[in-house]
Structure 1
Amino acid sequence: MVKTRLFKNIASLGIIQLVNYVFPLITVPYVSRIIGPDGYGLINYATAFIAYFALLISYGFDLTATRKITLHSKEKENIDNIVSEVITSRLILFVISVFLFIISIYFFNPIQKDIYVPVILFIGCIATVISPQYIYQGFQDLQIFAKLNFIRGLVNTIFVFILVKKASDYYWIPTLTTIFFIGINLFLFILAKKKYKINYKLISLDKAYKVILAERMVFFSTVVISLYTSTNVVVLGFFANTREIGYYTTSQNFLNIISSLITIPISMSLYPFIGKGFSVSKEYGISLINRVVPIVFYITFLASISILIFAPWMIRLVYGHKFDNSIPVLQIISFLPFIIGMSNIFGIQIMLNLGLDKLFFKTTFIASVIGILLNIVMSKYYGYIGTAWNCLIVESFVTIIMYLALKREKIKIFVLDYFAPQEIIRTIKNRK
């Protein structure tokens, strides 16, 4: 049944996300009152833009390489090859990203308002090249992340209070983010190399090209997901000023804090765990999903209800009255933790673990096309409020079509008997 390691990994990742966002929550009330909505809008817009380059460099290897390592965790030579392929491929993609970024600086007007912020954040993409997340995920050994991220969060928080004293000090925020992001991933990569005795070797360009080509479906899926998520902010930048972007991204980032404390630990821990279940048999994997779905359902639904009710209090407590216009945005998107929690089960945990990469791509591609077109209209005529509604509509749409696609594949996800409280307790107690 649900193994002890799974719960340990979920707990560890919960701590990681808690540290990632609770430490910033300590600094946000202080920083937000200094740099205001305009400063936040500038930083958050640049962050959303640079996310595209990080996405290209990452190339979905945190999913595909994790899947490979999970299946070959006891075969050292295979592990060496997997890691070598990922690092070399990401180096190539980073070089491509450098050229694309230089071109974008000259032709993309919204990021020209303050060139330092996007440049320093782009340098942080080096951390994505060396990120060893897929290694630790594949071995289901994620506890080390909790300890190191606690240290990173603590040190970063101390430096924010020391360095950010006036509105013009906003540039320290992306600078510190980049420094610590690179530092922590470099340390984790060196540690993983020693711990798992990984021998890295630079592979040929031809082999790297074949790896990139082979994993393109999952990469395209991550791209189209980004097109209906982070593109919201980029499109809004063409129709709104930095203050309005600040109102939207403040609520979005606050919701990300809640979602990351809940959905990311569950998703990252479940992926290799469910993958092993499917490696036994399709039926066994589905039986694990049936048991896990009610737990995810209740946790994310209660979180969404709480956000909806307490949105005004949370925004004013953390950001102050300058951000009151962010309250309706947070209320509109309050049910995203629940919706995304379900779509993660349908897409990541089931489709990808079953090797239904093309089906996953098709469903997300349809959603992205609709999302981009709708986002342009909603952002142009209704501003940041329209962007919020677009986000909710598109996430709901993708969740629904994923469910219908799986139903068409005759995969039963919901077993109502398992939603009973006594069954959930039994699931948790039957850990092995």
Structure 2
Amino acid sequence: MSLRKQAVSLAIMHAADVLQPLLILPYAGRVLGPLHFGLYAYALSVGWLAATIVEYGFHWTAQRAAASARDEPAAIASLLAEVTATKAVLCCVVMLVGVAASDGLIAVSKPMFLCAMLTSVGGILFPTWLFIGLERAWQAAIAVVVGRSLALVCFLMMVTSSAQIELAVAIQSSIGLVAAVVSLPFIVPVGFSGFRAVTPSMVGLQLRNGWRGFLFTLVERMFVALPVPLVEHFSGYVAAGNYSIAEKFVNATRPFFRAMWETLLPRVAYCARHDPEAGLALIRRSLLTLVIGAAFSLFLFFIAPYVILLLFGESFSGAIPIVRVMSVIPVLINANTCTSNLYMFNYGHERAWAILNVSSLLIFLAVAYLLSQQLSNAAIAVAVALIAREFFVLVVSAGFFLVFGTARAQGPATQDDGKAHASDVAAGAVLASRGQLRSER
């Protein structure tokens, strides 16, 4: 599949992920009412957090392993079985803990929590990571569009009062299950032979291989969740509201960068194993997309302030200086996608990649706290802290790319951080060898 078709498929899939909840939002607000809509949103957030744990970073590590072993059917079948089994184990653990915490630590009933857990079950059965890793994103896009469309229709037709809040949560949480059914014809050719040989040790291996991707995902989710509470803590609700509006404009650019790395990561992961120089050349070409990141930044600085005034009025003019300060973030994310997510993750620096992202969280918290003591507007302080975080990641990851990437000879990815043990990039090769041995038996 060409990179252009892969990119278009991913854009369609992410557009469906964004549009369907937005289309439901006004109807759900009117039908459920403020109180029950808040409970609905809270239950979905709980389900989202549970799904993050069950996913366990496999969207990174398993996707890379699938990309590097795409020409080895036995390895792909084994990988699918092992990741599915590992997710099932994690889902059982999360479900037991969640049921025990329901009606107490978690402010939802047990039936409501189980409805929200349908998101995690769908994540087990619908392997988005596999389709993207094999560069078959169009198959995932078809399944997601069908699942989102069916959920939209069912929600509008079946949820008619606040008494049906559990049904509302179940419908919105079952999108992955519907996508899994739709994608079954695409999964069958991959085969289910790998499930016969899954063992606890293989589940443990997947947990060890996936923890860095899981750590990265958690850190990224914290950057989404932490800023608004921090602004509210230091400057109150008005500042938090202004920051939230500015943040939404910045976050609107993020789907492009996600589609970008999901398009390029499978190809780069494959090249990192089979043709490292071609992968490095592809990463260098991806830097041309900085033009798009710069265009987003210019839009945020010059156009977004007028859009804010048009949509929200003068009462939210406090968001304008915030969005202008944050306008540099898209071009920084664009660069980090190339040097950190594409290069460091795939070319033998995964440990440094994980440490870098955790360190960036500490940088953000430290800068946000220190500047909040000095500036009267904590929203500006938090915005500057986010920029400091992205700039820190860029300096370090660009240093790795310039020092190690340009000096790398043709061959497999080098050892992680110069140490004697092999990088996790070799996971695909291990799976391939194991799959070939099984086929011989």
TM value normalised by structure 1: 0.75
1:128 maps onto 2:129 in alignment:
no
Structure 1's 403 and 106: CA in aligned 2 closer, same or farther, altered over 3 A?
farther
Structure 1's 177 and 307: CA in aligned 2 closer, same or farther, altered over 3 A?
farther
Structure 1's 249 and 6: CA in aligned 2 closer, same or farther, altered over 3 A?
same
User: Helix, strand or coil: the match of 1:194?
Assistant: helix
Shift of 1:26: 4.6
1:23-422 → structure 2 map (5 Å cutoff): 23-26=20-23, 50-102=47-99, 112=107, 120-159=115-154, 174-188=169-183, 190-201=184-195, 203-232=198-227, 252=247, 255-260=250-255, 262-294=256-288, 296-312=289-305, 314=307, 324=316, 327-328=319-320, 330-374=323-367, 387-409=382-404, 411=406
CA distance in structure 2 between the partners assigned to 1:169 and 1:331 by the alignment: 42
Q: What's the CA shift string for 1:324-357, capped at 9, x where partnerless?
A: 4794455554443322222111122111221311
Q: What's the counterpart of residue 425 of structure 1?
A: none
Q: Look up the equivalent residue of 1:216 and give its one-letter code.
A: W
Q: What's the CA shift string for 1:46-98, capped at 9, x where partnerless?
A: 65665443232112212222222222223222112111110111111122222
Please say if residues 61 and 213 of structure 2, whose CA atoms lie closer than 8 Å, have aligned partners that are also in contact.
Answer: yes
Structure 1's 113 and 120: CA in aligned 2 closer, same or farther, altered over 3 A?
closer
CA distance in structure 2 between the partners assigned to 1:57 and 1:35 by the alignment: 29
CA distance in structure 2 between the partners assigned to 1:310 and 1:39 by the alignment: 36
Structure 1's 158 and 95: CA in aligned 2 closer, same or farther, altered over 3 A?
closer
Shift of 1:148: 3.2
Shift of 1:211: 2.4
Unaligned stretches of 5+ residues in structure 2: 409-441
Question: Which entry has the higher C-alpha Rg, 1 or 2?
Answer: 2
Q: Look up the equivalent residue of 1:91 and give its one-letter code.
A: A
More displaced, 307-316 or 36-45? Answer: 36-45
Shift of 1:13: 0.8
Q: Percent identity?
A: 17
CA distance in structure 2 between the partners assigned to 1:121 and 1:385 by the alignment: 36
User: Comparing both chains, which one has the higher relative contact order based on Cα–Cα distances under 8 Å and sequence gaps of 6 or more?
Assistant: 1
Shift of 1:312: 4.6
Please say if residues 48 and 234 of structure 1, whose CA atoms lie closer than 8 Å, have aligned partners that are also in contact.
Answer: no
Shift of 1:359: 1.4
Please say if residues 152 and 180 of structure 1, whose CA atoms lie closer than 8 Å, have aligned partners that are also in contact.
Answer: yes
Unaligned stretches of 5+ residues in structure 1: 414-432
Structure 1's 412 and 320: CA in aligned 2 closer, same or farther, altered over 3 A?
farther
Please say if residues 41 and 244 of structure 1, whose CA atoms lie closer than 8 Å, have aligned partners that are also in contact.
Answer: no
Q: What's the CA shift string for 1:373-424, capped at 9, x where partnerless?
A: 55567789966665544434323332332223333435489xxxxxxxxxxx
Please say if residues 251 and 326 of structure 1, whose CA atoms lie closer than 8 Å, have aligned partners that are also in contact.
Answer: no
Structure 1's 156 and 375: CA in aligned 2 closer, same or farther, altered over 3 A?
farther
Structure 1's 60 and 165: CA in aligned 2 closer, same or farther, altered over 3 A?
same
Please say if residues 13 and 146 of structure 1, whose CA atoms lie closer than 8 Å, have aligned partners that are also in contact.
Answer: yes
